[in-house]
Amino acid sequence: MLKKIVFSLAGVLLVAGIVLAAFVYWAMAFFPNNSGLEKLRSTKAESLAYLQSSLPPTRGKILAVVTSVRTIGTSGKVTGYELSELARAYWVFTANGFAVDIASPQGGEPYALLDEDDMAEFDYAFLNDANAQQKIKHTFKLDQIQPDDYIVVYFVGGKGAMFDFPDNPVIHHLASRFMEQGKVIAAVCHGPAALVNIKNADGSWLVANKKISAFTNAEELLLMPEAKTVFPFLLQTRLEARGAQFMAGADYLEQVIQHDNLITGQNPWSVWLLAEKTVKQLGYEPLPRRLTAEENSVALLQVFQQQGLSAAEKKIQKSSAAFSGQLVLMHSFVAAMRGNLPDMFKLIILADSTRAI
C-alpha cells in the first residue's frame, strides 16, 4: 500500500510539474521577446504619432513634484517615484501645450522606480528624451520654486511620497496657496499623501469633505502585507480620518475623481485620464490620442468585473484595438492571491482571448 501511495503521489507531482511548465511556457508568450523588448526600449518621442502633433508650450507651466526618498523607512526596500506616473502625465501635458518643470523635496536627481513589466512606449520615450532627462536628473529643490509661476501642481506617486510629502512645509504652503487661488491640484496613487496633514486657515483639514481617490488599503496590503508597520500610516485610512470622502474603485483599475479643482487618481492605471481631466479643467480639449493597449485592457477588465467573461470576450471580438494580455494575466494572479480561483481561471481564458487580436 505504501509503495502504491508513493508512486501515486510521484505521478501527481509529475503531472503537476508538467502542467506548471506548460502554463509558464504559455504565459511567457504575453511578454515581449528580446528583440521586441530592445525595440521597445529604444522608443523615441519623435516616433510616437501623438507626440508628433504636440502643441507649442504656450499655455502655461505645470509643476510635477516627485519624492526624494529612495528606501522605505527602515526596511531597506528600494522605492522612489513611479516613472510611469510621471512620464505619461508629462507627455499629455507637453503634447497639449504646457511646459513642465519637475521638483523634489531635496532637488537633484531622485530615484526612479522602473518596472519593465508595466512599462510601455511612452515610458521609454521619456527615458530616451534629452529634455525630459535633463529635467528629471536636475529637479528643482522645492523651496526654490515660485508657486505663482505655475497653473497646476501635480504630485506624482511612488511609495517614497508617504515619507517626505506629508509633513513638508513647502508642500503645505504650495498646496494651500493653490487651493486658495482656485488653481488645479492633481495627485495620483501615493501622491495624495502630500495633502493629508494640511490645515486651512480656520483649522479644518484641507481634504475634509472633498471627494478623493488614492491608492487603497486593499491594493496596498495585497502587495505589501506589512505596510501597516512599514509606512507611517495607510493612505486611505489617513484621508478618511481627515474627513475626506474617499472614493475607492476596483483594485488596480482606472479611477479618477474630480472635486472642483482637485483631481486625484487611484493608481498608475489612472494617470492618462487624470492628466487629460487636468487639461480639460484648464479649459482646453485634450489633443486626440489613440488609447494604449494598457488602457484598452483596463476597460476590458472593467467590463469583466461588471458584466462577466462572456461580455468581455464579446468586447474583444468586436474591437480592432490592441490589448495587453499581460495586464489581464496580472489580474488573474491578483485573483489567485485573493483565493478567488473561479475568477483566476476566467481571467486566464480572457488573457488568451486577447491573443486573437
CATH code at 83?
3.40.50.880
Nearest residue to 334 (alpha-carbon basis) of 249, 255, 218, 256: 218
Say how far apart CA 68 and CA 156 lie, in whole Å: 11
- Tens digit of pLDDT for each residue in 211-247? 999 999 999 999 999 999 999 999 999 999 999 999 9
**Domain membership flag for residue 1:** no
* Same domain (yes/no): 298, 253: no
| Strand positions, DSSP E, 145-201 | 152-155, 184-188
* Same domain (yes/no): 314, 251: no
Nearest residue to 67 (alpha-carbon basis) of 78, 48, 82, 46: 82
pLDDT at 356: 64
Fill in the amino acid letter for 45: A
CB half-sphere exposure, 10, CA atoms < 13 A: 6
Q: How many domains does the chain have?
A: 2
Here the cell at position 190 is 501615493
Contacts of 292 (CB under 8 A, 6+ apart): 120, 121, 122, 272, 322
* Same domain (yes/no): 82, 170: yes
pLDDT at 220: 97
* Same domain (yes/no): 222, 96: yes
* Same domain (yes/no): 198, 257: yes
CB half-sphere exposure, 226, CA atoms < 13 A: 7
Say how far apart CA 70 and CA 232 lie, in whole Å: 16
**Domain membership flag for residue 2:** no
Cα 286 from chain centre = 20
Domain hosting 277: range is 44-281
DSSP for residue 206: T
pLDDT at 4: 35
End-of-domain residue from the set 231, 259, 281: 281
pLDDT at 72: 83
* Same domain (yes/no): 230, 330: no
* Coil/strand/helix, residue 9: helix
CB half-sphere exposure, 22, CA atoms < 13 A: 6
175-209: burial string, b at 16+ Cβ within 10 Å, e else? bbebbeeebbbbbbbbbbbbbbbbeeeeeebbbee
Say how far apart CA 125 and CA 123 lie, in whole Å: 5
Question: pLDDT tens, position by position, for the chain (357 residues)?
Answer: 433 333 444 544 554 555 555 456 456 556 666 777 888 899 999 999 999 999 999 999 999 999 999 988 777 788 999 999 999 999 999 999 999 999 999 999 999 988 877 899 999 999 999 999 999 999 999 999 999 999 999 999 999 999 999 999 999 999 999 999 999 999 999 999 999 999 999 999 999 999 999 999 999 999 999 999 999 999 999 999 999 999 999 999 999 999 999 999 999 999 999 999 999 999 999 999 999 999 999 999 999 999 999 999 999 999 999 999 999 999 999 999 999 999 999 999 999 999 865
**Domain membership flag for residue 6:** no
